[in-house]
Structure 1
Amino acid sequence: MPIDRRIICLLALGALTLGSCSAESPDQPGHGSLLRYLPDSDTSTDSRLGGGEIEDNVSLGDTSVDSGPAGGEIEDSISPYNTQLPALARLDPALLAALHSAAADAQKSGVAMHVTSGWRSAAFQQRLWDEAVVKYRSVVEAARWVHPPNLSKHVSGRAVDIGPTNADDWLIQHGSDYGLCQTYANEMWHFELATHPGGDCPPQLSNPSEEGEGA
């Protein structure tokens, strides 16, 4: 008995509809997290990520507790003395003291120094890493700018980001007087307590991926 062509068309349409519904959009958050992958020195050839490229089925994790002052997030910038906020209150005490000394002397020179990022919660850092990997579509490229929480010096309270640009320029020139050093050539805003006051800063790395701990 010949099959009605209308039935064939309906069956084909149904199959296409089911197929499109079962495919998960690569932009839709899921239960896994790309952030849990920690890049190492051989990331560029890691077959799990296709040589550093994101697989289409990798999803972002839950980002519900990764923002706001409690997580160390700073909306724009804050005074170096605004220590009631966790972003500064949870910095390493020696780093915070050096920052205060530098900011006071910079002010005497007419340079207003602000903090754009300090201590970050692991959840906040995780979000930043996740967003960077998605932005660059490459774990290797993302690691040149940000690291997962267990590698970040912001999470351990040992790094601070400074602005605006004239304050960065001032601190690059005078920071070693306080033990503060720009540690990455591609991040003029990122400073760490990397020497003793009046000492020599270590040679800059091109970017955070060149060391075991990063931005």
Structure 2
Amino acid sequence: MTCSEPARTTTGRLPGGLVTTTRRIRRTLAAGPRVVIAAVVKALGYRLVRVQYHGTLGEADGAVPRGTTVFDDEVPAVANLDPALLGALREAAKDAANDGVEFFVNSGWRSPEYQNRLRREAVSRYGSEKEAARWVATPGTSPHVSGNAVDIGPSEAKAWLSEHGARYGLCQIYRNEPWHYELRPEAVEHGCPPMYPDPSHDPRMRQ
């Protein structure tokens, strides 16, 4: 928890103020830890700036701020991508810009912890590990965790890469994920390989 300097100085008789404050805090105990924290901070006369709970996953784990592009080196999800993949993406993005198309990164590198959370959420959403595997890999097999995959948007960028990506070695890997691109250098000369129907058909996901 991070607090600023006191927002105000409390005036009045100290004993009465303490009694009133104590009673208010006791009444909030049953409301849960977050409410209790906020009540205590307010009672002490501090302005609450931000509360960070243990286990929160943010940008450092691969969460991507809205509007992130392939040129945003300060964002870990971009900076931690494989250099060859990132180079190809930037080359493609520059050429796409000439056609009025901008690449935005919806997801890139992810920490194992972040990937594991996405996997758990997918199991909850789709009802089983088998169905979740069609959309989200495990931390041990995900190319996002290794920095070898990126999810690109919006639809104009996906359409541009679908048509031109192979000349940069950028290939859509899964038919059900038109946003997911990986680097296949051989595609520059031979074209992209056939797509898997979904990640569950990818032999890498079975390791």
Give TM-score scaled by structure 2 length. Answer: 0.70
Equivalent residues of 1:151, 1:212 under 8 A apart: no
* Equivalent residue, structure 2, for 1:201: 192
- Aligned residue pair count: 152
Q: Distance in 2 between matches of 1:136 and 1:108?
A: 40
Aligned residue for 2:140, secondary structure, equals helix
Higher helix share: 2
Deviates more, 1:81-90 or 1:197-206: 197-206
Q: Distance in 2 between matches of 1:181 and 1:199?
A: 12
Higher strand share: 2
Aligned residue for 2:69, secondary structure, equals coil
For residue 66 of structure 1, report the CA deviation from its aligned partner: 5.5
Identity value in percent: 49
* Equivalent residue, structure 2, for 1:125: 115
* Equivalent residue, structure 1, for 2:46: none
- Which 4+ residue blocks in structure 1 deviate beyond 4 angstroms? none
- Give ranges in structure 2 of 5+ residues lacking alignment: 1-52
CA 1:74–1:189: 2 relative to 1, 3 Å? same
Residue from 85, 104, 112 that aligns with 1:95: 85
- Give ranges in structure 1 of 5+ residues lacking alignment: 1-62
* Equivalent residue, structure 1, for 2:33: none
Residue from 141, 162, 166 that aligns with 2:156: 166
For residue 138 of structure 1, report the CA deviation from its aligned partner: 1.0
Q: Distance in 1 between matches of 2:198 and 2:54?
A: 29
For residue 75 of structure 1, report the CA deviation from its aligned partner: 3.6
Aligned residue for 1:213, secondary structure, equals helix
* Equivalent residue, structure 2, for 1:111: 101
* Equivalent residue, structure 2, for 1:51: none
Aligned CA RMSD, in angstroms, stands at 1.5
Q: Distance in 1 between matches of 2:172 and 2:62?
A: 21
For residue 211 of structure 1, report the CA deviation from its aligned partner: 1.3
* Equivalent residue, structure 1, for 2:172: 182
